[in-house]
Amino acid sequence: MTSTPTSAGPDPDVSVDVPPGPGAGPGAFLFSTREMTLRTTGGRTRVPGASPGSVGAMAAATLAAERAAGNPDPLVVGAVGFAHGEARLVVPAHVHRTPTVDRVEGDAPPVPPLVAPPSAPASVGTRWDFRAEPPPPRYAAAVARALEMIAEGEFEKVVLARAATLTAPEPLDVAAVLERLAARNPSGYVFAADVTDPDVDGRRTLLGNSPELLAARRGNVVVSHPLAGTAPRSPDPEEDARRGEVLARSTKDLREHALVVDRVAERLEPFCTSLEVPSSPSVTRTASLWHLGTRIEGTLRDPAPTSLQLAEALHPTPAVCGEPTDAARAAIEELEEFPRGFYTGLVGWCDAAGDGEWAVTIRCAEVAGRAVRVYAGAGVVEGSRPEAELAETAAKFRTLLSALGLEATP
């Protein structure tokens, strides 16, 4: 992955200094990691719609056509939805890569990696209206029903999500929200992508800071870092450390994590000549949550799939859907009360050589003018408790709500 400024398209000197916001248009995209910040604007070519399982192949064909037409270094950027049926992928007109400003380890606020004006959270007392889907009692009831289905042998795990639509007093400052998201999790994947439906009026921006890498490819090396197993942080240092230690020993969370790691390794293995899978997870943290995570690294066979094809082969993992996949999907359709859209899909970029990075679209929101839709989910396995899963979703909501300047959780 290069860390020097480059550009593709008709204007080789373009530099994008403002993250995309509502109204920014096709091709507006930002993806910032600890190492690199990628910004794009303008849309040269949209990747055509594709059937499930062929999005990566269609993107590769689009990139090949772009090179044949004289674009020397094309990229595909954007997002793919949870159900594969929704994708917003584009070859941008202008691309700018820069090294990310150093982010600070731990919980200290980092120097923001995004070029955005200093900003304060929404004023205390500012009126925001919100509507939760489903309300907490109905979500707890859905978890209880999922536990009955697990006991009946229908599946081992299902991830059930909640959503909330918040309406702000005035249009949202997307750059300011991204700045605060980056400060809350310096190790995350900060993103903003135009996901406007061309058949619907009004622009939509998908934004967030995902802690989870689905797939990255650089040359013949592939990396995935799935997360599963979560505990809320505590402001008290001793209690916070205790929660991390309890999570690391939790039988329920370790079992849930192993389901995810086993499935990711199983799906990567056919593409690899070798695959390194640690025997136990590590404990990672964001400002709000402790996570169990395992970094999986493989050497790819030749010819290697692109980064998007690898991400597509892994999606959805049991971390966002369940196990087995088809039964968990059916349960999600039955028990959830809203369409997920791009939530728990993938967001990232892929170049013509096949290199790229794709993060799981979690800790995210969709913004359209004054409306903000936020999402959170929890994995349900044997031993889960409805009240605990409800509390977990509340803790995950907090990432976005804090970036909006709000602390109450729906």
Enzyme catalytic residues: 157, 212
Angle among Cα 355, 358, 359 to the nearest 5 degrees reads 155
47 contact partners, CB below 8 Å, separation of at least 6: 55, 58, 59, 62, 76, 78, 87, 89, 90, 91
CB 195 within 8 A of CB 204: yes
SS3 252: helix
321: Cβ contacts below 8 Å, ≥ 6 apart: 82, 158, 159, 328, 329, 332, 344
What SS3 state is found at 104?
Answer: coil
Neighbour tally for 241: CB within 10 Å = 12
Q: Count H helices, E strands: the chain?
A: 8, 20
Are 161 and 343 contacting, i.e. CB atoms less than 8 angstroms apart? yes
Let me know: does 357 contact 349? Beta carbons within 8 Å. Answer: yes
Give residues with Cβ within 8 angstroms of 158, minimum separation 6.
Answer: 146, 149, 150, 321, 322, 328, 331, 332, 335, 379, 380
Angle value at C-alpha 72, between 67 and 76, nearest 5 degrees? 65
Q: Hey, which residues does 357 pair with through a beta bridge?
A: 216, 349
Name the residue among 207, 195, 198 with its Cα closest to residue 27.
195
